[in-house]
Structure formats: C-alpha cells, structure tokens
C-alpha cells in the first residue's frame, strides 16, 4: 500500500515540477545552469531518482519512508503554489 501511495504522490510531484519549469517564472533565470540542461529534464531525472529510492525503500519494509515522502511532497506543493501564483 505504501508503494502505491508513494507512486501517486510521485505523479503529483512530477506534475508540479513540470508546471514550475514551464511557468517561465523570473526566478528560474537565477538558478544554476544545470537546471536548464536538456530543457529541465536533468531536474526531472532527480525527481525520478527520489521517487525510485522511496519506492525501493518502501518495498523492503521501510514504511516510514511514506511519511518522509509525504513531507517532501507537501513542501513541493507549497513551493509550486508560491511560484505559480507569483507570491515568491
């Protein structure tokens, strides 16, 4: 069950990440060059590796990783909301 929950949270994280990358926010021009490598796909790869690590840990019985990934997703959601609503 934890793997399914983490996977669904991962889908949301990817959607938020892509929306921020496509927003054209002025803050994106101030981030290091690796963020813009391959059109932002380098950071999406990092997002994927975080999701993969969380799912692998959950599959080995480390169910606490679900709560850690929930916290990570909540912080991603707050950051995306701040960026996309131009509050930051």
Lowest mean pLDDT among 2-6, 19-23, 45-49, 55-59: 19-23
Average pLDDT over residues 10-19: 94
pLDDT at 35: 65
Q: Where are the domains of the chain?
A: 2-84
User: What's the pLDDT tens digit per position in 50-86?
Assistant: 999 999 999 999 989 999 999 999 999 999 999 999 8
pLDDT at 32: 72
Please give the structure tokens belonging to residue 46: 């990092």
Please give the structure tokens belonging to residue 30: 């101030």
């Amino acid at each position: 069950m934890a793997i399914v929950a983490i996977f669904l949270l991962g889908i949301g994280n990817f959607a938020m990440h892509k929306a921020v990358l496509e927003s054209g926010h002025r803050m994106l021009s101030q981030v290091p060059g690796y963020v813009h490598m391959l059109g932002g796909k380098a950071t999406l790869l990092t997002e994927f590796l975080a999701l993969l690590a969380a799912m692998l840990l959950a599959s080995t019985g480390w169910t606490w990783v679900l709560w850690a990934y929930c916290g990570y997703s909540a912080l991603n959601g707050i950051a995306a909301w701040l960026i996309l609503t131009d509050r930051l």
